[in-house]
Structure 1
Amino acid sequence: MRLWFQKHTVAGRLPLLDKWYDDHLAALVSPGTTVDIHTLPEGTYGDDTPFDLVGFGNLALRFNGYFGETALTAEREGYDAWIIAAGQDPGLREARTLAAIPALGYTETATFLAAMQNHRFGVLGFMPKLREPITDNIVRQGLRHLLADYQIADDGAEAVRRALDGDFTLFLDSFTRAAQKAVDAGAQLLIPAEGIPNEIFWHLGIHELHGVPVVDPAGLAVKTAELLVQLRDLRIFTRTGAGYWFRRPEPHISEHVERVFQGHLIGRA
Structure 2
Amino acid sequence: MIRVCLAALGAALTLHAGMASAQLRALSEQELSSHHGQGFLVLNNSSYGGYDFTRIALGADVTLNANFRNIRLGEYNYAPRNGSGVDLDIPALQFGRSDGTEAQRLVQITNPYFEFVYRNAGNAATREVVGMRFGFESIAGDIGLTLNTLSGSMLVDGGAAGTLDSRTDPGGGKRWDGSCTAPCLNFAQMGGVRAGDTNGASRDFWISALKSAVQFQPPAGMAQAPDLAQAGVWLNWRDRLTALTTTGTPPPNLPPVR
Identify the TM-score tier after normalising by the shorter chain. under 0.3
Higher strand fraction (1 or 2): 2
TM-score scaled by length of structure 1? 0.24
TM-score by length of 2: 0.25
